[in-house]
Amino acid sequence: MFHPFSEIPVDTVLPKLFTCPFCYTPHPLAVLAADQVRQYLETRTDWSDELSLGKMFGVLIVRDTAGQLGFLAAFSGNIGGRSCHNFFVPPIYDISLPDGYFRTEERSISDVNSQIASLEENPSFREAETRLTLMKQQSEREIAEAKTAIRQHKAQRDAMRSQPLSDEQRAQLIRQSQHEKAELKRLERQWHARIEAATEDVSEVKAEITKLRELRRQKSEMLQAWLFNQYVVRNARGESKTVRLIFADERGTEPPAAAGECAAPKLLQYAFVNSYQPVAMAEFWWGQSPEGEIRRHGMFYPACHSKCEPILNFMLQGLDVEPNRLRQTPKTELKIIYNDKWIAAIDKPAGLPSVPGKEHAESVYSIVKEMFADANGPLVVHRLDMDTSGILLIAKTEPVFVTLQRQFASRAVKKRYVALLDGILKTDSGTISLPLRPNPDDRPRQMVDPELGKSAITRFSVVSRAKGRTLVNFYPETGRTHQLRIHAAHCRGLNCPIVGDNLYGAPASRLMLHAAEIEFVHPVTNQEISILSEVPFDENSD
């Protein structure tokens, strides 16, 4: 499992701190190790079809007990239905053993699924369900028709009562009304009895299906709880903890499915068990991108937050780890580019959140709250991603805030962003329409979802092309989270990620995305206001 480097470049400098798995630039040795893993994968023609669908791999640079420098490799999940393969480290717990408790209980749950399917697909049951459905529809139709006739007859009787009538005629109208009401009651009772009898034909089977579904739920929950108690992970201090307890302590929840099966925890576990010293780590994607997400073949990616963050936070205890740059917010002075009694516009630097977050004490909001101490409004009218720079509007009173937000909601505010894309666009201009929603398994990432996503529309135009990059203007018509970043990177968008996009592209010195211009109507003076901000990068920026 330990792969020594046959040759290390003479100018290689080992990192002083271990890789922050959630925000990193791959160390040259990690890149070298990943290249060796890729070469190995290309020899596994028996895996070609499966790997073409996409899988995450990881490498961990380590020193073994003799001080030799090498690497470990791992994959997320399994390959070919197995968790153990030569060349790669073993899983933290092998659920693929055919006679193990997990597979045995999994087969038991599958048996319950088969019983449910057998009951649901039984021809007699399906015919009885269809018959009951048709009977209900017919009863509703006949009862509705009877009620309509009663209303029509009542209208006729009311019209007749407006004319002179004998006592006998009036009595006859009353008898007619009573008869129709009685007939309606009889019709309703008849259909109720027929439906009740037909319901008995399906209720017993439905009760059995409900019972089996509850049994399946209980079995699944018990198996998941048992499984995550088997995943006992170590950290650099030599401490051990179950994955289930890790999630309970950090998030107060049960672990999500497949927690502990990703590449990074496997690598660290093997290193700690074998007393290897971790040096650096990286994960890369192999194959097609999952539907709706953005993964590029061969590109490095940070660890996921939903499954890995609590586990890695525990496992890295005892190691000197690089600080997470995404959570660093150095003290910032904001540049004011527009200011009057009601509104201000500031030039937000990249790396500063618009509003306070869990890990960020400082934000645009906290700074402008001190800058405009007399302001009584919510202040920050709209938001920019933390890594995006550019214009942010500040409202100094609540009425101004409300008016500006209405302009944003009605799409009356015009915005222009400038972005540097990693790739050459062939089209000079166009419109991207890809609906977006949060990725529940990997926040804060967003994903494309035609069914559940919210409408997201972006117009674009090319400014210039040079050195394999394209400078573009973006004109967003909607304001979804990460809209411009995904519309740039996704294969059904521009298929060219923004330079420096560590979530959907490759890391660089910064995210090359800048809110450069905004136009709106002043809520108090009713004048059209246009504000510009100088773009802090060009085609030659790194």
Active site residue ranges: 385
Burial classification of residue 341, based on how many CB atoms lie within 10 Å of its CB (0-12 exposed, 13-18 middle, 19 or more buried): exposed
In the chain, the amino acid numbered 303 is A
**94-to-99, 204, 420 alpha-carbon distances in Å:** 11, 41, 45
CA nearest to 7, candidates 42, 32, 41, 27:
32
Burial classification of residue 114, based on how many CB atoms lie within 10 Å of its CB (0-12 exposed, 13-18 middle, 19 or more buried): exposed
Record the tokens describing residue 326, joined without a space.
């995404």
Q: What is the distance between the alpha carbons of residues 536 and 389, in angstroms, rounded to a whole number?
A: 9
Q: What is the distance between the alpha carbons of residues 149 and 154, in angstroms, rounded to a whole number?
A: 8
DSSP 384: -
Q: What is the distance between the alpha carbons of residues 248 and 243, in angstroms, rounded to a whole number?
A: 9
Record the tokens describing residue 190, joined without a space.
């008849």
In the chain, the amino acid numbered 484 is L
**244-to-104, 158, 227, 248, 296 alpha-carbon distances in Å:** 21, 73, 9, 6, 32
Q: What is the distance between the alpha carbons of residues 100 and 77, in angstroms, rounded to a whole number?
A: 17
How many other C-beta atoms lie within 10 A of the C-beta of residue 218?
A: 11
Asked if 464 and 409 count as a contact pair (C-beta separation under 8 A), the reply is no
Q: What is the distance between the alpha carbons of residues 17 and 272, in angstroms, rounded to a whole number?
A: 17
Q: What is the distance between the alpha carbons of residues 15 and 326, in angstroms, rounded to a whole number?
A: 19
- In DSSP terms, 430 is beta-bridged to 460
Q: What is the distance between the alpha carbons of residues 503 and 417, in angstroms, rounded to a whole number?
A: 19
In the chain, the amino acid numbered 333 is E
DSSP 433: E
